[in-house]
Amino acid sequence: MTNQAGRFGIHGGQYIPETLMNAVIELEAAYNHYKNDPQFNAELETLFNEYANRPSRLYYAEKLTRELGGAKIYLKREDLNHTGAHKINNVLGQALLAKKMGKTRLIAETGAGQHGVATATAAALMGMECVVFMGEEDTKRQALNVYRMRLLGAEVIPVTTGTATLKDAVSEAMREWTNRIDDTHYCLGSVMGPHPFPTIVRDFQAVISKEIKAQMLEKEGRLPDVVMACVGGGSNAIGTFYHFIEDKDVRLIGCEAAGRGIDTFETAATINTGKLGIFHGMKSYFCQDEYGQIAPVYSISAGLDYPGIGPEHAHLHDIGRAEYVAVTDDEAVNAFEYLSRTEGIIPAIESAHAVAHALKIAPDMDKDKIIVITISGRGDKDCAAIARYRGEDIHE
Ligand SMILES: *Cc1c(COP(=O)(O)O)cnc(C)c1O
């Protein structure tokens, strides 16, 4: 089932079963109403500021800049948000919207558990029921986040279909939504899925670039030359890009997870290795095997190993407005350690992919150029895994 709604060039759309149409139509109508409602926006802004700790800082990384000897580097500190990442921006927006729509129950998918924890947090705050679908493999790898979600009052349902990972959790959450749309909102975690999700999630994450622009004008009196972010589904990256898309002199760079390399099968770099396809309700680029089946993806970073990318990124790539580069596990781990040592900031291993690319390009840029890197989350959650990567066994 498809129509022209929610297209980004040839990408996006609504490739969903008939049974889900009513739910997305209801959601789109409600969103179009509330996005222009001053009361809704005032409530959301209060939640952002008082609860999530916005605006997040735009921090001048002076020591990093000096060591690299090139462009001036600023860090957009989404790691300082409540729950430790950008995910809370989207979740507070969707939870508030769901509440206005009269829904009493939130469902969500989660991979590493970060989006599940953010959704469980918003549900606790707003007094809503919460059910999180998580691949069984991931529940074992991320036991601490499963505990957190349950502590916050959510029910966590292990998904055993397929490879029992993130893509299967998305499929299961969509199935559950089809079964129960009366009281339930599906709080989708990235700029993906059928319209209107890629637009809704982008709009809630766009607060990142709105703030960067204002903060940069205040600090430097001009726009940055480069803004960059890591890309899984692409929500923190589109949030970082959005208010700069029309500013053609600002380079937009998305950093994908190459895993063990884009010339291996152990990768999650969708733009660099994927092909056009239709999955999870949208047309976009996906990692696929020779038969067009969704390929298993791999990255050291659990938050980046999704086999697709949001349709708006696919379009920005097609028209050449944004660049998408691939960063390997090894490069990301080096950047994780380097930023920790240099600035005393431990980034999420996802965000370290963007830092890694900045380490490559900053030294060759003039000193009067400016780069902004979005630090999408904090890295405490990754310490045990990175220690293991370095051959050290620590107990959490
Ligand atoms: C989930 C997550 C990501 C990847 O998701 P996007 O939708 O691509 O932003 C990146 N960084 C962190 C810290 C995350 O938790």
pLDDT tens, position by position, 138-184:
898 889 999 999 999 999 999 999 988 899 999 999 999 999 999 99
* 168 located within any domain: yes
296 preceded by a cis bond (ω within 30 of 0): no
- Enumerate the active-site residues: 87, 109, 376
Task: Assess whether the C-beta atom of 234 lies below 6 angstroms from ligand 1.
Answer: yes
* 2 located within any domain: no
* Ligand 1 centroid, distance to 376 Cα (angstroms): 6
* 384 located within any domain: yes
Largest CA distance in the chain: 57
Rounded average pLDDT over 65-91: 98
Task: Assess whether the C-beta atom of 114 lies below 6 angstroms from ligand 1.
Answer: yes
pLDDT tens-digit profile of 97-136? 999 999 999 999 999 899 999 999 999 999 999 999 999 9
Task: Assess whether the C-beta atom of 374 lies below 6 angstroms from ligand 1.
Answer: no
Query: Are both 110 and 43 inside the same structural domain?
Result: yes
Domain span including residue 236: 55-84+206-389
Query: Are both 127 and 223 inside the same structural domain?
Result: no
Q: Report pLDDT for 305.
A: 84
Strands in 72-77's sheet, in edge-to-edge order, are: 58-60, 72-77, 370-375, 226-231, 251-259, 322-328
Task: Assess whether the C-beta atom of 228 lies below 6 angstroms from ligand 1.
Answer: no
Residue 3: pLDDT above 70?
Answer: no
In angstroms, rounded to a whole number, what is the distance separating the alpha carbons of residues 209 and 239?
Answer: 6
Which of 147, 175, 201 is the last residue before a domain boundary? 201
Ligand 1 pocket check: which of 78, 190, 238 to mutate, most ligand atoms within 8 Å of Cβ? 190
Which of 168, 201, 234 is the last residue before a domain boundary? 201
Which of 169, 201, 233 is the last residue before a domain boundary? 201
Query: Are both 271 and 320 inside the same structural domain?
Result: yes
Q: Give the type of residue at 166.
A: L
Residue whose CA is at the smallest distance from ligand 1 atom 14: 303
Closest CA to 355 of 341, 334, 369: 334
Rounded average pLDDT over 38-49: 98
pLDDT tens-digit profile of 303-315? 898 999 999 999 9
Residue 1: pLDDT above 50?
Answer: no
Task: Assess whether the C-beta atom of 233 lies below 6 angstroms from ligand 1.
Answer: yes
Residue 395: pLDDT above 80?
Answer: no
Please give the tally of structural domains in the chain.
2
What average pLDDT does the structure give for the chain? 96
Length reported for the chain: 396
pLDDT tens-digit profile of 319-347? 999 999 999 999 999 999 999 999 999 99
Ligand 1 pocket check: which of 75, 86, 256, 312 to mutate, most ligand atoms within 8 Å of Cβ? 86
